Chain A
Amino acid sequence: MQNIKSNIWNNLDWVTIGLYFLLVTLGWLNIYSSVFSEDQLQESFFTTRYGRQLLWIGACFVIIVIALAVDSKFYSSFAYLIYALAIMLLLAVLIFGTRINGAKSWFVIGPVRIQPAEFAKFATALALSKFLSFYNLKPEKFKTLLMFGLLIVAPAGFILLQNDTGSALVFFVFFLVYFREGMPSVYLLFGILAMVLFVVSLLFETYIIIIVLEILALLAFFVFYRKQHETLIAAAILLIGTLITWFGISYFRPETSKTLLVLAGLLISSVLFLIQMYKHKLKTGFFILLVLFSSILFAFSVNYFFDNVLDDYQQRRIKVLLGIESDPFGAGYNVNQSMIAIGSGGPIGKGYLQGTQTKFKFVPEQSTDFIFCTVGEEWGFVGTTFVLLLFLALLMRLLFLAERQKSKFSRIYGYSVASILFFHVAINVGMTIGLAPVIGIPLPFFSYGGSSLWGFTFLLFIFIKLDSNRTQLIT
């Protein structure tokens, strides 16, 4: 017994644990500063946010002990069960949950508020690790992608229904993990194409996008076949088809939208093009056409998604970020304030507890989503860089640990932990400096709130536990 205990002690990765405690401590100091003001000196310690956060941090020790005490095999053996439980909790919170700040994603039990979405993050990480570590898995198969997609879309979908868009988006970071495990690069390419299309279809009208896509498709055609003549013919077919429908239809029905006109032109040209390809047995041309049409479909669904699924305020935030709208007092307010606060810190900051922008409560959600502003204002560029490098160090350390695992399960879980943390840091810090849309997700270990702190702690320490048994082969 003694032997096993000391074994764990020695095998723990103290670098990661050190980074963890450093981040938690820095986080608390900044929460203290962001909440601190004279009027709150009258309040008793544990009713203030920094007082409560200290309680949550204390509770983390219990979580750490639990995470380390449970046998490593438990996590892999019960991965799917834990996942199923998480999905059930997500379902339950939709029915029995309490609505806080517009998101119906909390269970309130007495003084404790629990967010099943936090639980779902590590449960999904476990399930994916289990799934991707299956010895006979063929990562390049479409079926794998489908299963993988199902595993992340289920929790993400339920969380989206809870009106917690931010937490739902987190799940898509798992594609990074899949990528490491052999996702075909072409998916990554499609992912990037989809992201670009998303932004572009909000910026430009649909018919312009269709025309640009058509040109791209022609280019792709040329690149694949290196046949100038055929490409020119295809281009001519497209041009003539488009012109005929454009002028033809708009003559008879002048109110027809430009998008429909261009689309009709493309459809007619595609039929001609398909016949040509069938004659010459050009398979790739068919594939290009397929990609072209799915891209157009995607562009349409982006607009539909944007107008019908996203709330008004989310639409506005994205529009402000993309520069479609400028609204320093509406949707852009938080970001503008946050950038002024961070900018006002200068190279070395105003000093601890000396921030004015943040004290004046110009920045909303100062201790939760916008905690990074306090760092920026009081510690300046030196402080922000230090905190970011700390996070980078933790991420790199996690990748290093993941790569040294014997078991595939542990490695994949390690990548999941790193990816989740990375996504939170990227979005949270990104939104405070105007590089990401304002979706309310916390900065790991920094932001005020027990639920997220416990979630990240548990997530991380399960991996530390797995790592302590890295020599074993867990399946």
Chain B
Amino acid sequence: MNPFINRKYIVGGIFALIILIFISRLFILQVIDPSYKLSASNNVLRYITQYPARGLVYDRNGKLLVYNEASYDLMVIPKQVEAFDTAEFCKMLDLTKEQVLARLKAAKTYSYYKPSVFEKQISARAFAPFQEKLYTYKGFFVQTRTLRKYPQKIGAHVLGYIGEVNDEITKADPYYNPGDYIGISGVEKSYEEVLRGKKGVEIFMVDVHNRIKGSYKNGRYDTAAVHGGNLKITIDATLQAYGEDLMRNKRGSIVAIEPSTGEVLAFISSPSFDPDLLVGRNRTENYQILKNDSLLPLFDRPLMARYPPGSTFKTINALIGLQEKILWPSRTYSCVGGYRAGNFFMGCHNHYSPLNVKQSIQHSCNAYYAHEFRDLLDHPKFGSVENAYETWRNYVVSFGFGQKLGIDLPHEVNGYIPTLNYYKRIHGTKLKSLNIVSLAIGQGELLMTPIQMANMTATICNKGYFFTPHVIKELPEEFNSLKSAFLEKHKTAIDSVYFKEVIEGMFLAVNGTDGGTARIAQMNGIQICGKTGTAENPHGEDHSIFIAFAPKENPKIAMAVYVENAGFGATWAAPIASLMIEKYITDTITRPYLEQHILEKNLIDAKH
């Protein structure tokens, strides 16, 4: 009646076949193969995670920056706990009886049978006497962990810190279990996969009295922990330490870059903190103190603080002017103690007039750049001010401004270069060059981070290109791909021929015999080029800025120094940069009076 009636046997056969296969498999698993069986005496397995030592971090010269020290986590399995001498136990662990009971209860809530952490990070010294007594406390055992140690006590923001994983991480990545550590900031975060290594596990057979009966299956299912990979970072520990000293009692940051590679030599955020504070049992407490500090020591200024570039930005405007043929080396504008246009007046300081391109940088003439910027925006070849602005903005963006540079450290911010739309919203539809003339001297809405400023300096001394700033120098070979992004040369939209005038101007600003805004940075033996800047600060005294590189030929170091609320760029930022350069290039300081002057200056307490 139904032509396919016989197919019922096939369907039934498939059902029976699968069930039969399952039963055979179960027969092998449960009856024949002994490897999945435990002994009948109700032994249980204990999984002890073997935590790998986290990778070490070295500076560019091989100086150790981060290493590990053993510590011990006391674990408990509530099911196996028997009555014990609480008084002695409390004394040895420095806990109250209530704390002990509360923790036991918490462990029970988590699981009766699975181990939970009872006390974290017991130091080696505290652990020694306890270990002898451990066998009397049934249900307790110890798991070895490591703590990060910082022999140099520098570079807290670059190195970052580690902390326990939260629920989100453990859910997203099966590698992590509650209680594991993970890099939270700095290279600890960006190179977490390199540093963490690979966890292993040892499986033991444990009897009901919590005694280890031996390894399960002779270690057949054990896996060894793989030591984390070591990192060599580009930071120069000596320079970093020196910079942190110079910045003590001042707010601000220093970023120094090796222009030929983009390697970050120093990365200073001040005030900083001792990285050891965020390790060990007092970590949470210390973290709260640092977090609530009004000087924001945890704030990663080089990557996150946004300031206007001030007069240092005149270098960029000069380059754009040269490239667009608004300027040429001998082009002069006169300065009448400032720039006047109708009712508008922008002041300038005392210098001779008129000035050409390099002199305008040497003396940081505001009027010169107001003229140049307006000539650019109003130039008929662009058709409209809007088009001219877009052109200008594209040049600026090609230096890496207004976007994350892509440094291998977390939390970098974009900075801000106003868009045309922004101005349309503020000033209505028609953009007028006079309305935005403050951009000529690096004021107005421009916001840059210190790392972007240092990168700009490196780009200038490279005559038009940069490598993305980075802190990784060497890492285990299998991770080399993490470095590939830093080998790519980024070219700006300015032709290299135009940089000569600006570099010359920056040289004169420091070394000019007829005066210069940064004469204080001048020193014998090294040809330093620099440019001062002062960022207007609506909340208090202006920020002092200095960008510099040296030597003039084949530069070895390019940097940006920000000192908050310190007034003129020349006053504090310039001498700090000069000392840093000397320290890096010659490794000695020939101007102890200048060094003393900086070290003693306290720019924080004066205001608090």
Which residues of A come within 8 Å of B, CB atoms? 37-39, 176, 179-182, 313, 328-331, 333, 336, 339-340, 342-347, 350, 354, 356-357, 359-362, 376, 380-381, 384-385, 388-389, 391-392, 395-396, 399, 403, 415, 418-419, 422, 425-426, 429-430, 433, 435
Q: Are B29 and A330 neighbours in the complex by a CB distance under 8 Å?
A: no
- Complex contacts, B174 vs chain A, CB 8 Å: 313, 330-331, 333
Q: Are A359 and B19 neighbours in the complex by a CB distance under 8 Å?
A: no
- Complex contacts, A180 vs chain B, CB 8 Å: 4, 7-8, 11
A331 to B173, CA, bound (A): 11
- Least CB distance, A423 to chain B, in whole angstroms: 10
| Given A391-B19, A433-B22, A435-B25, 10 extra CB contacts under 8 A | A39-B112, A339-B29, A343-B29, A346-B31, A360-B114, A362-B47, A384-B23, A384-B30, A389-B19, A399-B8
Q: Determine which of A331, A345, A396, A415 lies in contact with B30 in the assembled complex, contact meaning CB atoms within 8 Å.
A: A345
Question: 4 shortest A-B CB distances, which residue pairs?
Answer: A343-B36, A381-B30, A360-B113, A392-B19
Given A329-B199, A399-B12, check contact A380 B22 (CB 8 Å).
no
A395 to B22, CA, bound (A): 15
Q: Determine which of A39, A343, A360, A384 lies in contact with B37 in the assembled complex, contact meaning CB atoms within 8 Å.
A: A343
- Complex contacts, B35 vs chain A, CB 8 Å: 343
Task: Tell which of B11, B108, B112 has the most Cβ of chain A within 10 Å.
Answer: B11
A433 to B24, CA, bound (A): 11
Q: Are A330 and B175 neighbours in the complex by a CB distance under 8 Å?
A: yes
- Complex contacts, A357 vs chain B, CB 8 Å: 38, 44-45
Q: Are B44 and A356 neighbours in the complex by a CB distance under 8 Å?
A: yes
- Least CB distance, B223 to chain A, in whole angstroms: 7
A282 to B441, CA, bound (A): 82
Q: Determine which of B25, B31, B79, B109 lies in contact with A433 in the assembled complex, contact meaning CB atoms within 8 Å.
A: B25
Q: Are A347 and B31 neighbours in the complex by a CB distance under 8 Å?
A: yes
B482 contacts the other chain (Cβ, under 8 Å)?
Answer: no
- Least CB distance, A84 to chain B, in whole angstroms: 29
Q: Are A342 and B4 neighbours in the complex by a CB distance under 8 Å?
A: no
Q: Determine which of A330, A343, A426 lies in contact with B18 in the assembled complex, contact meaning CB atoms within 8 Å.
A: A426
B3 contacts the other chain (Cβ, under 8 Å)?
Answer: yes
Given A180-B4, A182-B4, check contact A381 B31 (CB 8 Å).
yes
Given A39-B109, A399-B8, check contact A361 B114 (CB 8 Å).
yes
B26 contacts the other chain (Cβ, under 8 Å)?
Answer: yes
- Complex contacts, A38 vs chain B, CB 8 Å: 79, 112
- Complex contacts, A330 vs chain B, CB 8 Å: 174-175
Which residues of B come within 8 Å of A, CB atoms? 3-5, 7-8, 10-12, 14-16, 18-19, 21-23, 25-27, 29-31, 33, 35-38, 40, 42, 44-45, 47, 78-79, 108-109, 111-114, 174-175, 199, 201, 221, 223
A391 to B15, CA, bound (A): 10
- Complex contacts, A328 vs chain B, CB 8 Å: 221, 223
Q: Are A433 and B26 neighbours in the complex by a CB distance under 8 Å?
A: yes
Q: Are A388 and B175 neighbours in the complex by a CB distance under 8 Å?
A: no
21 pairs, CB–CB < 8 Å, chain A vs chain B: A38-B79, A329-B223, A339-B36, A342-B26, A342-B36, A343-B36, A345-B30, A346-B37, A346-B40, A356-B42, A360-B44, A360-B114, A380-B30, A381-B30, A385-B23, A391-B19, A399-B8, A403-B5, A425-B19, A426-B22, A435-B25
- Least CB distance, A352 to chain B, in whole angstroms: 14
A329 to B31, CA, bound (A): 25
A425 to B21, CA, bound (A): 13
Q: Are B113 and A37 neighbours in the complex by a CB distance under 8 Å?
A: yes
- Complex contacts, A418 vs chain B, CB 8 Å: 11, 15
A182 to B112, CA, bound (A): 56
Given A399-B11, A422-B15, check contact A429 B109 (CB 8 Å).
no
Given A376-B26, A429-B22, A430-B22, check contact A343 B113 (CB 8 Å).
no
Q: Are B112 and A179 neighbours in the complex by a CB distance under 8 Å?
A: no
- Complex contacts, B223 vs chain A, CB 8 Å: 328-329
- Least CB distance, A4 to chain B, in whole angstroms: 30
A310 to B55, CA, bound (A): 33
A385 to B27, CA, bound (A): 9
A385 to B31, CA, bound (A): 12
- The closest CB in chain B to the CB of A392 belongs to B19
- Complex contacts, A336 vs chain B, CB 8 Å: 221
- Complex contacts, B78 vs chain A, CB 8 Å: 39
- Complex contacts, B16 vs chain A, CB 8 Å: 392, 396
Q: Are B33 and A343 neighbours in the complex by a CB distance under 8 Å?
A: yes
- The closest CB in chain B to the CB of A102 belongs to B171
- Complex contacts, A181 vs chain B, CB 8 Å: 4
A433 to B38, CA, bound (A): 17
A304 to B257, CA, bound (A): 43
- Least CB distance, B78 to chain A, in whole angstroms: 8
Q: Are B22 and A435 neighbours in the complex by a CB distance under 8 Å?
A: yes
A430 to B20, CA, bound (A): 12
- Least CB distance, A355 to chain B, in whole angstroms: 10
A399 to B5, CA, bound (A): 12
A429 to B175, CA, bound (A): 26
- Complex contacts, B47 vs chain A, CB 8 Å: 362
- Least CB distance, A58 to chain B, in whole angstroms: 29
- The closest CB in chain A to the CB of B10 belongs to A179
- Least CB distance, A160 to chain B, in whole angstroms: 21
- Least CB distance, A136 to chain B, in whole angstroms: 15
- Least CB distance, A373 to chain B, in whole angstroms: 11
- The closest CB in chain A to the CB of B198 belongs to A329
Q: Are B25 and A347 neighbours in the complex by a CB distance under 8 Å?
A: no
A336 to B45, CA, bound (A): 13
A389 to B22, CA, bound (A): 10
- Least CB distance, B347 to chain A, in whole angstroms: 60
- Complex contacts, A422 vs chain B, CB 8 Å: 14-15, 18
- Least CB distance, A192 to chain B, in whole angstroms: 12
- Least CB distance, A69 to chain B, in whole angstroms: 30
Q: Are B113 and A179 neighbours in the complex by a CB distance under 8 Å?
A: no
Q: Are B175 and A179 neighbours in the complex by a CB distance under 8 Å?
A: no
A380 to B199, CA, bound (A): 33
A344 to B109, CA, bound (A): 27
A180 to B14, CA, bound (A): 12
- Least CB distance, B349 to chain A, in whole angstroms: 61
- The closest CB in chain A to the CB of B79 belongs to A38
Q: Are A182 and B3 neighbours in the complex by a CB distance under 8 Å?
A: yes
- Complex contacts, B36 vs chain A, CB 8 Å: 339-340, 342-344
A271 to B47, CA, bound (A): 61
A103 to B152, CA, bound (A): 48
A346 to B38, CA, bound (A): 9
- Complex contacts, A381 vs chain B, CB 8 Å: 26-27, 30-31
- The closest CB in chain B to the CB of A348 belongs to B30
A68 to B260, CA, bound (A): 82
- Complex contacts, A342 vs chain B, CB 8 Å: 26, 29-30, 36
- Complex contacts, A179 vs chain B, CB 8 Å: 7, 10-11
- The closest CB in chain A to the CB of B177 belongs to A329
- Least CB distance, B180 to chain A, in whole angstroms: 12
A384 to B36, CA, bound (A): 16
- Complex contacts, B5 vs chain A, CB 8 Å: 403
Q: Determine which of A182, A329, A359, A396 lies in contact with B201 in the assembled complex, contact meaning CB atoms within 8 Å.
A: A329
- Complex contacts, B14 vs chain A, CB 8 Å: 176, 422
Q: Are B199 and A361 neighbours in the complex by a CB distance under 8 Å?
A: no
Q: Determine which of B15, B25, B38 lies in contact with A396 in the assembled complex, contact meaning CB atoms within 8 Å.
A: B15
Given A344-B36, A396-B15, check contact A384 B26 (CB 8 Å).
yes
- The closest CB in chain A to the CB of B18 belongs to A426
Given A391-B19, A430-B22, check contact A359 B29 (CB 8 Å).
no
Q: Are A361 and B113 neighbours in the complex by a CB distance under 8 Å?
A: yes
- The closest CB in chain B to the CB of A384 belongs to B26
Q: Are A347 and B30 neighbours in the complex by a CB distance under 8 Å?
A: yes
- The closest CB in chain B to the CB of A101 belongs to B171
Q: Are B44 and A176 neighbours in the complex by a CB distance under 8 Å?
A: no
Given A180-B7, A376-B30, check contact A344 B19 (CB 8 Å).
no
Q: Are A388 and B21 neighbours in the complex by a CB distance under 8 Å?
A: no
- Complex contacts, A347 vs chain B, CB 8 Å: 30-31
A430 to B45, CA, bound (A): 25
A399 to B47, CA, bound (A): 46
A345 to B29, CA, bound (A): 9
